[in-house]
Amino acid sequence: MPRAFWSGQLRISLVSFGINLIPATEAKSEIRFHQIDRRTGERVRHQKVSADNEEPVEKGDIVKGYEYSKGQYIQLEPSEIEELRIESRHTIELDQFVNADEIDPAFYEKPYFVLPENAAQAEAFAVVREALEETGQVGLGKFAVGGRERLVAVGAPHDSKLRGMMAFTLRFAEELRDAAGYFQDIKQQKIDRDQLSLAKELIQRKSASFEPGKFTDSYEAALRELIDAKLKHVSPPKREEREPRGKVINLMDALRRSVGESGAKKKPVVRADGKPARDRAGKQPLRLVQANSRGAGKRRKSA
């Protein structure tokens, strides 16, 4: 299990118990790049040097500095920062509760698993977790870590079978740019009701339950194929390009064709020998009948 990102007390009024925050995400990419000198093939390394004489500076000689005037700094020792008396370094005080759906997704940063610190904290932890689940509320508080204080929302997991809690770090309001300033030049458009109806039908046809496992990193897979080809000294694989689509005359035409295509399956891919290509599982794809403009295409059995 990963080390706790933060440990301390979760407090609601006079109720307090110990918790650990564990990062809920991890980097799955196996590909790591280094900077290489093309001429020598050697790795390029970076050194921290003094701006005055460009001499290397040892890690132990580096402190934090706040530039209060051009080229003038106040130095802060790590021990001085460590000794700052901020309650949120050790305690998350949940002093407000809101409905989870009230929080704009733009505020969310990173998710964390919340676990009781030990068995002695389990009872209070379970009661608070159940209360959050049954009320549909999340508690808002702050905790300090990594040289800054972070806003956090704590609530029950989406899956009620999970006995832990979730915490999400949130951006502060001043960190978000004002959307109105960027959207103000977008002119109001008169919406054609027929176009809107087709757009809604297209969305409905493509609607499905969210399955995170269906989405994978295609760019990483392509990089892996390229690297493997270079290791084997063979030509890199050519990526298949999508078949060119017919020219779309206008928005209504595009919507009609899109609705039609969403109601039909893709045409089978044909190999060079004229036989239908098979997917990775060895199954031959079904063929389809072209859908009409209302998307009423019908399937027919594979040949």
More confident residue, 135 or 213: 135
- Residue 280's pLDDT band, with cuts at 50, 70 and 90, is very low
| CATH class label, 6-25+84-174 | mainly beta
| pLDDT at residue 150, as a whole number | 93
| pLDDT at residue 49, as a whole number | 86
| pLDDT at residue 290, as a whole number | 33
pLDDT for 7 beyond 90: yes
| pLDDT at residue 237, as a whole number | 77
State the average pLDDT for the chain: 82
Is the pTM higher than 0.75?
no
Per-residue pLDDT averaged across 134-163, rounded?
A: 93
| pLDDT at residue 136, as a whole number | 94
Identity of residue 37 = D
| pLDDT at residue 218, as a whole number | 80
pLDDT tens-digit map of 71-101:
889 988 888 777 776 788 889 999 999 999 9
Taking the mean position of all CA atoms in its chain, how far away is CA 112?
A: 13
DSSP, residue by residue, 50-108: -TTT--B--GGG--EEEEEETTEEEEE-HHHHHT---GGGTEEE--EEEEGGGS-GGGE
- Residue 301's pLDDT band, with cuts at 50, 70 and 90, is very low
Per-residue pLDDT averaged across 116-139, rounded?
A: 95
Q: Is 92 within 8 Å of 11 (Cβ atoms)?
A: yes
Query: Of the candidates 109, 152, 136, 138, which has an alpha carbon nearest to the alpha carbon of residue 8?
Result: 152
Among 148-152, 160-164, 239-243, 290-294, name the one with the lowest average pLDDT. Answer: 290-294
pLDDT tens-digit map of 196-253:
999 999 888 888 888 888 877 787 888 888 888 888 888 887 777 666 666 656 888 8
Sorted by where each begins, the domain ranges of the chain are: 6-25+84-174, 193-204+218-262
